[in-house]
Amino acid sequence: MLINVIGLGYIGLPTALILAAYGNAVVGTDKKMDVIAKLNEGIVDFEEEGLQNLFDKAVNNRIKFTTEYQKADVYIVAVPTPYIKRDKKVDAAYVRNAVEDVLNVCGKGVIIVIESTISPGTIDKNIKPMIEERGFICGEDVHLVHAPERIIPGNMIKELENNNRTIGADDVEIGNKVRALYKTFCKGEIVVTDIKTAEMTKVVENTYRDINIAFANELAKICRTDNMNVYEIIRIANMHPRVNILTPHS
């Protein structure tokens, strides 16, 4: 089974490397020639503990890097989904473009896994219609899966290996197939659910983090105005059995 990882940035590259390091056949594709040229010279652009080791193992296992999309069994799409401030919306254009390019090379029965962070409803309202306009039948010719990523820069490799994950697929058999693929490197629990639930869950997780980080930072600001020790206040407040405030930036 060949896996083509699309987009070799902070998420796609470690994902491609870990899949290859754990014995899967992987080709990594990125639109940017300089990204591919560097990878083919053995240069990884960002630092992460364990990344170089993973890179060496993946190269030993014959991972390839190219600007070309491959004919593969599974595509993992990890392209950017920037937030457009003006519209207060997530821009799915990169994901759409990547899926368009996959459709130009893939065969029937292919699985396309969207790892990029997308807003709830994107696959049903935005991606599926586009695929069907091209004459493919979703659920038969093309199987869509959403596998949102939770890793954080600075601890990526450990988190890739140990985090729990969500696989959103509307066909349980396909969901289990993708789960088995991620299980080749992931020791965490992998939940299989439907696409919409996976999309919404990712947004809920990010929102929860955002609110809690903002709360801690606002608290720090308030305490600073009247010379109160925010860390002592949080330490005491967190002794409450149902309070767990994060540590703000100093």
Ligand X SMILES: NC(=O)c1ccc[n+]([C@@H]2O[C@H](COP(=O)([O-])OP(=O)(O)OC[C@H]3O[C@@H](n4cnc5c(N)ncnc54)[C@H](O)[C@@H]3O)[C@@H](O)[C@H]2O)c1
Min CB(228)–ligand X separation in Å: 33
Interface with ligand X (CB under 6 A), residue from 79, 145, 186, 198? 79
Q: Are 200 and 146 in contact (CB under 8 A)?
A: no
Q: Does 8 participate in binding ligand X (rule CB under 6 A)?
A: yes
Task: Please state, in angstroms and rounded to a whole number, the distance separating the CA atoms of residues 205 and 194.
Answer: 17
Q: Which is nearer to ligand X, 22 or 94 (CB)?
A: 94
Interface with ligand X (CB under 6 A), residue from 3, 5, 10, 22? 10
Q: Does 197 participate in binding ligand X (rule CB under 6 A)?
A: no
- Please name every residue paired with 225 in a beta bridge, in sequence order, or none if there are none: none
- Please name every residue paired with 144 in a beta bridge, in sequence order, or none if there are none: 112
Interface with ligand X (CB under 6 A), residue from 17, 20, 35, 160? 35
In the DSSP assignment, the letter for residue 137 is P
Task: Please state, in angstroms and rounded to a whole number, the distance separating the CA atoms of residues 29 and 31.
Answer: 7
- The residues, any chain, with a CB within 8 Å of residue 112's CB and separated by 6 or more, are 74, 75, 77, 99, 102, 106, 142, 143, 144, 145
| Sign of the C-alpha dihedral computed for residues 50, 153, 23 and 61 taken in this order | negative
Q: Which is nearer to ligand X, 146 or 219 (CB)?
A: 146
Q: Which is nearer to ligand X, 54 or 151 (CB)?
A: 151
Task: Please state, in angstroms and rounded to a whole number, the distance separating the CA atoms of residues 65 and 45.
Answer: 14
Interface with ligand X (CB under 6 A), residue from 6, 92, 198, 234? 6
Min CB(80)–ligand X separation in Å: 4
Cα angle at 11 between 8 and 17, to 5 degrees? Answer: 65
Min CB(231)–ligand X separation in Å: 27
Positions in 59-78 near ligand X (CB under 6 A)? 78
Q: Does 30 participate in binding ligand X (rule CB under 6 A)?
A: yes
Task: Please state, in angstroms and rounded to a whole number, the distance separating the CA atoms of residues 38 and 67.
Answer: 12
Q: How far apart are the first and last CA of the chain?
A: 49
Q: Which is nearer to ligand X, 93 or 191 (CB)?
A: 93
Q: Which is nearer to ligand X, 151 or 178 (CB)?
A: 151
Task: Please state, in angstroms and rounded to a whole number, the distance separating the CA atoms of residues 138 and 112.
Answer: 11
**# of chain residues touching ligand X (CB under 6 A):** 26
Min CB(235)–ligand X separation in Å: 29
Positions in 108-167 near ligand X (CB under 6 A)? 116-117, 149, 151-153
Q: Which residues bind ligand X (CB under 6 A)?
A: 6-12, 29-32, 35, 78-81, 94, 97-98, 101, 116-117, 149, 151-153
